[in-house]
Amino acid sequence: MSRNQTIALDAMGGDFGPEVVVPAAHLALKELGQGSLHFIFYGDEHKINVHLKKNPELEAVSTVHHTDKVISSSEKPSVALRTGRDSSMRLAIEAVKNGEADGIVSAGNTGALMATAKMLLKCMPGIHRPAIASVFPTKQGKTIMLDLGANITCDSEILVQFAVLGAVYARAVGGTPNPSVGLLNVGSENMKGHDQVRAAAAVLSSVDFPGKFYGFVEGNDIPMGTVDVVVTDGFTGNIALKVAEGVGGLMGGYLKEALHSSPLAKLGGLLAFRALKQVKERMDARFYNGGMFLGLNGICVKSHGGMDAFGFSRAILVAANLVDNGYNERVAHEIEQLMSQESFFSGLDSRSSEDS
Amino acid sequence: MSRNQTIALDAMGGDFGPEVVVPAAHLALKELGQGSLHFIFYGDEHKINVHLKKNPELEAVSTVHHTDKVISSSEKPSVALRTGRDSSMRLAIEAVKNGEADGIVSAGNTGALMATAKMLLKCMPGIHRPAIASVFPTKQGKTIMLDLGANITCDSEILVQFAVLGAVYARAVGGTPNPSVGLLNVGSENMKGHDQVRAAAAVLSSVDFPGKFYGFVEGNDIPMGTVDVVVTDGFTGNIALKVAEGVGGLMGGYLKEALHSSPLAKLGGLLAFRALKQVKERMDARFYNGGMFLGLNGICVKSHGGMDAFGFSRAILVAANLVDNGYNERVAHEIEQLMSQESFFSGLDSRSSEDS
């Protein structure tokens, strides 16, 4: 891949700011090779430069845009919109809007990032709402799930659009030529669930879109990797994501405790150390870091606020991959294709009457 | 505790029928002691007696009610209601309705069991809808969560009733004098979530009920055990439950695979065998088997269809504990108390206008 991209980085976001964001950019650059990436850092010039000076190769491909203003992690999105002018986050997003950067990555306040990105970048033509999407480890490999929290309620049309956003990702970036798409529900039968998922299923069964519709999937199908793309509303998706993280943490804690419970268990844990480390790595959230804001006129990726440099570097790579594979151009094409189909609109018509 | 209860058992439900249900009753009897429990088995007399003959102490406290009819696991609830007369499941529920039994346990078709139990037993006065509730292992101990799938959508009044159903369980059966109750949401701030959870939170903040309202909890709070009672709608609860089961299975699989990946890992796993077994037991679904149908005029518990005798015996114990602790009597009292409070109705009034 011949990249020559510019990534805008909100250097002040997350729990650690430039201390993590600058070394993360260096790791991403090492991963893709010199000349692949350029960076514009937004934030406290002095703090950024302290870390930039340590990496001459990075410094050579970086620009620093100074600002004192930072949106705090506790700021309400509405307040961030009103008062966030000149903040590191807003300036970084503006760089994408103005064409100075190809994508933006921030570990800042999720609500503020989404609100600002929506306001500045706006939804792509034909897309009603952006979704937050992320990739998860499964028994089969990887699955992309969306929405993870941007939209508390979603009508069937929005769910269908999310299916397209997810399928295009799986095909263009995930390398799955004909991705399977499942709608998250409480059972696999047609009659299950609320009106919105049933109407979305009816539409997805009848339209051509860049994947194949599998039908309904249940909560356990996410970790099993039954489908390549799991589509759900942001309320359910956010809770599913956090339950998965929580159960992973609980089991990890149980295991650690057990392997310290006796000298024999300790010895066993020591002998199996490498194997256990592999398990830990397979579940390591850092490898899957990078919540993609899909459906906007611009690539925007959210890093988890508590990530270290390695974790943040993965979010940068997620953004770089979306840019490099022309994700947004492909979505534009597929949404146009979708909207040219009569079965899309007739399906939605029947949905409207069911929903009301 | 001085028990002298009769439990009606749908002997034909689940993947194994009497082969599991009869030995399960024996295990429950051994657990609580001779004289504590009586059983009425509903189903194929011949198949039941084959297993009953092997356990004279059990046979001495058991009655068999023969029927040929069985509701299959794939039957739609509506069909089960129409054609299920004289089925083992329906007869067992009727025993509770007629006062012949104190509770009923079935491993059969969940939808049919709920529909039949609702039709025959009906909701308790003041309760609009029954909920499915279950107890889960957490970092802190145990948490009860409801609804796990009986109600796809729930308005705020129903969520408040579920809070009472859960809190009474935690107090009466779980032994927590002042249980904390959380509403599952996508964030802890007041403004988060949809109208229903926000209105339910407003009511729970203002009324007296048999617990203390913690506020909103997120998906990871379930395994962390942040609260004693987690309240949610059946769509979200069902998906959260299945995600948790799925992630547990995925991690268990990863671990098993890793401990077979090299001779050294195998040896380590062998040495740590007892410790690892402990972890497995802590996550063992059999210990937590027993989905309680709460809010009905009668105790009804659903066992997982694939459970072995030990697992099914836990579901019997769940039913016996509900009966023994006078769960339904306490709920009746608390719902009456709730409905006597002006702040309950004024809260719901404000909810109605918000919801519309």
CA-nearest residue to A235 within chain B is B186
The answer to whether B186 contacts A152, with C-beta atoms less than 8 Å apart, is: yes
Confidence of residue B255 (pLDDT cuts 50, 70, 90): confident
Cβ–Cβ below 8 Å for B248 and A251: yes
Among A13-17, A32-36, A110-114, the least confident range: A32-36
| Interchain contact, A275 vs B259, CB within 8 Å | yes
**B322, pLDDT greater than 90:** yes
Domains of chain B, residue spans: 5-121, 131-284+333-355
CA distance A257 to A260: 5
A272 vs B259: CB contact, 8 Å cut-off? yes
Weakest mean pLDDT among A304-308, B110-114, B346-350: B346-350
Give mean pLDDT, residues B215-227. 96
Whether residue B220 and residue A238 make contact (CB cut-off 8 A), yes or no, is: no
Residue of B118, B122, B17 whose CA lies nearest to B71: B17
From the candidate CATH numbers 3.90.1150.10, 3.30.10.20, 3.40.718.10, 3.40.50.300, the one assigned to the domain spanning B131-284+333-355: 3.40.718.10
Give pLDDT, residue B350. 53
Percentage of residues in chain B having pLDDT higher than 70: 97
Residue of B nearest to A270 (CA): B268
pLDDT given for residue A345 in this prediction: 78
pLDDT at A284 exceeding the cut of 90:
no
Least confident of A120-124, A170-174, A344-348, B126-130: A344-348
Whether the bond between B147 and the residue before it is cis, its omega within 30 degrees of 0, is yes
Would you say residue A356 has pLDDT above 70?
Answer: no
pLDDT surpassing 90 at residue B2:
no
pLDDT value, residue A353: 43
CA–CA min distance A337, chain B (Å)? 32
Over chain B, what is the mean pLDDT? 92
Can you give the pLDDT at residue B273? 86
For residue B286, pLDDT beyond 70: yes
CB A264 within 8 A of CB B272: yes
Query: Checking DSSP bridges between strand B103-106 and strand B229-231, what pairing results, if any?
Result: unpaired
**Closest approach of A6 to chain B, Cα-based (Å):** 33
Residue where the block lists tokens 């998250």? A184
Confidence band for A286, pLDDT divided at 50, 70 and 90: confident
Tokens 């899909």 identify what position?
Answer: A294
Cα B327 from Cα A70, distance rounded (Å): 53
The ipTM of this complex is: 0.90
Mutating which of A183, A196, A216, A239 best tests the B interface, going by the most B Cβ atoms within 10 A? A239
Q: What is the mean pLDDT of residues B307-322?
A: 96
> What percent of chain A lies above the pLDDT cut of 70?
97
- Contact criterion met (CB < 8 Å) for A234 and B282: no
Superfamily of domain A5-121: Isopropylmalate Dehydrogenase (3.40.718.10)
* Per-residue pLDDT, A350: 53
CA distance A347 to chain B (A): 23
Tens of pLDDT, residue by residue over B97-149, are 999 999 999 999 999 999 999 999 999 999 999 999 999 989 888 999 999 99
Report the pLDDT value the prediction gives residue A194, as an integer from 0 to 100. Answer: 92
B57-68 mean pLDDT: 96
Inform me whether the pLDDT recorded for B355 exceeds 80: no
Band of pLDDT at residue A351, cut at 50, 70 and 90: very low
**Cα–chain-centroid distance for residue B350?**
32
User: Taking 70 as the threshold, does the pLDDT of residue B353 lie above it?
Assistant: no
- Is there a contact between B268 and A269 if contact means CB atoms under 8 Å apart? yes
Residues of chain A found within 8 Å of residue B245, distances taken between Cβ atoms: 219-220
Lowest mean pLDDT among A6-15, B170-179, B214-223, B337-346: B337-346
**Mean pLDDT, to the nearest integer, of B45-61?**
96
Rounded Cα distance, A219 and A240, in Å: 7
Residue whose entry in the numeric block shows the structure tokens 């397979």 = A282
Residue B282 burial (C-beta neighbours within 10 Å; 0-12, 13-18, 19+): middle
Q: Which residue of B has its CA nearest to A222?
A: B243
For residue A251, which residues of chain B lie inside 8 Å, CB to CB? 247-248, 251-252, 279, 283
- CB atoms closer than 10 angstroms to residue A310: 15
With 0-12 / 13-18 / 19 or more C-beta atoms within 10 angstroms meaning exposed / middle / buried, residue A179 is buried
pLDDT digits (tens, 9 = 90+) for A97-109: 999 999 999 999 9
Backbone angles phi, psi at B299, to 5 degrees: -90, 125
Is residue B8 predicted with pLDDT exceeding 50? Answer: yes
The β-bridge partners of B130 are none
Using CA atoms, how far residue B314 sits from A253, A272, B56, in Å, is 26, 34, 21
Greater confidence, B333 or A189?
Answer: B333
- Domain A5-121 and domain A131-284+333-355 have a common topology: yes
The pTM of the full predicted model, rounded to 2 decimals, is 0.92
